[in-house]
Structure 1
Amino acid sequence: MPNHNATAALTDSLNGLLADLFTLYLKTKNFHWHVRGPQFRDLHLLFDEQAAEIFALTDIVAERVRKNGAPALTGIAAIAQKARIADQPRADLTAAEMIAELRDDNATLVDVIREVKAAATAAGDNATDGFADDWTDQAQQRRWFLESTLG
């Protein structure tokens, strides 16, 4: 018999991850559009590459929520309510500030994914548990690239 409390906790954590992914995607695109300076081309391309990777995860995560019988986030208000990663409305950050913020946000994302993995284990959702390892690796790689860019 399925544990409904564990499944509810899992879908809640997945929706939290979904909110953070959308927030990080939009922030990364903001920085892609507004980066300037001597590293412009490299950072413009890096941010776009990372944004595409993050956006690709949103559908997978939302479908994990649906496969567990719950509704996925439905709009911007729901995203804002659940996200732990802070929005960044500014367009005037330096390139180094952008890189550092995205590095830290990807580290936060790793923590969120680890919480999803623990919830998946508790709910007996082996598929989400397995996906979480790949999601963690991707976030760690993004963080590493950003950290290495800072020097």
Structure 2
Amino acid sequence: MPGDNATKALIDTLNGLLADYFALYIKTKNYHWHVKGPQFHDLHLLFDTQATELFALTDVIAERVRKNGGNTLTSIGAIAGRSVIADDDREGVDAMAMVAALRDDNAALVARIRAAKAAATEAGDNATEGMADDWTDQAQQRVWFLSSILG
């Protein structure tokens, strides 16, 4: 079965999602390390909690790729080439700009997760399909928390 087009498409979609999780993890840790201002303590802790959640799913997603007979990402370059999450290399980013960027990136992640779920459905991979619901819920919760900070 791993040779069929639906499974190949699922593997490709999952690797894109894996890249997004890694990129968003790094961006979230970047903001965790560099946040400043009156909400420093709360944002520092929130960003760390969210980064930990993101990183925890990288192995789960990579293992779904492997269980479907595919190969996972192998390098930072592979991650950069597949992710739709933009880097933020700026210094001195305003705390609320960080919150807004992470909100938007997590919302984009929801769309990518939904695409992975659709690909899993097409490939008949009900395990990935079910997991995608949990991944969506977690990403939507991050969007909600971040949106609530912005008012």
Same fold (TM over 0.5): yes
Partner of 1:136: 136
TM-score, normalisation: structure 2: 0.98
Structure 2 CA distance, aligned partners of 1:116 and 1:22? 16
Partner of 1:35: 35
**Contact 1:50/1:142, CA 8 A, preserved across alignment:** yes
Structure 1 runs of 4+ aligned residues shifted over 3 Å read: none
**Contact 1:28/1:102, CA 8 A, preserved across alignment:** yes
SS for the counterpart of 2:114 is: helix
Q: Percent identity?
A: 70
- Over the aligned positions, Cα root-mean-square deviation in angstroms equals 1.0
Structure 2 CA distance, aligned partners of 1:92 and 1:65? 37
Q: Is 1:65 the counterpart of 2:65 in the alignment?
A: yes
SS for the counterpart of 1:98 is: helix
Give matches, 1:1-151, under 5 Å. Answer: 4-151=4-151
**Contact 2:100/2:147, CA 8 A, preserved across alignment:** yes
Query: Aligned residue pairs: how many?
Result: 151
Distance 1:62 1:2, change over 3 A: closer
Structure 2 CA distance, aligned partners of 1:45 and 1:150? 17
**Contact 1:31/1:91, CA 8 A, preserved across alignment:** no
SS for the counterpart of 2:97 is: helix
1:91 Cα deviation after fit: 2.9
Structure 2 CA distance, aligned partners of 1:83 and 1:117? 17
TM-score, normalisation: structure 1: 0.98
**Contact 1:28/1:48, CA 8 A, preserved across alignment:** yes
SS for the counterpart of 1:146 is: helix
Which deviations, in whole Å up to 9, do the C-alpha atoms of 1:109-134 show, x marking residues without a partner?
Answer: 00000000000000000000000000
Distance 1:76 1:95, change over 3 A: same
**One-letter amino acid of the structure 1 residue matched with residue 121 of structure 2:** T
Structure 2 CA distance, aligned partners of 1:10 and 1:2? 10
1:92 Cα deviation after fit: 1.3
Structure 2 CA distance, aligned partners of 1:2 and 1:98? 40
Distance 1:98 1:2, change over 3 A: closer
Worse-matched range after superposition: 61-70 or 87-96: 87-96
1:88 Cα deviation after fit: 1.1
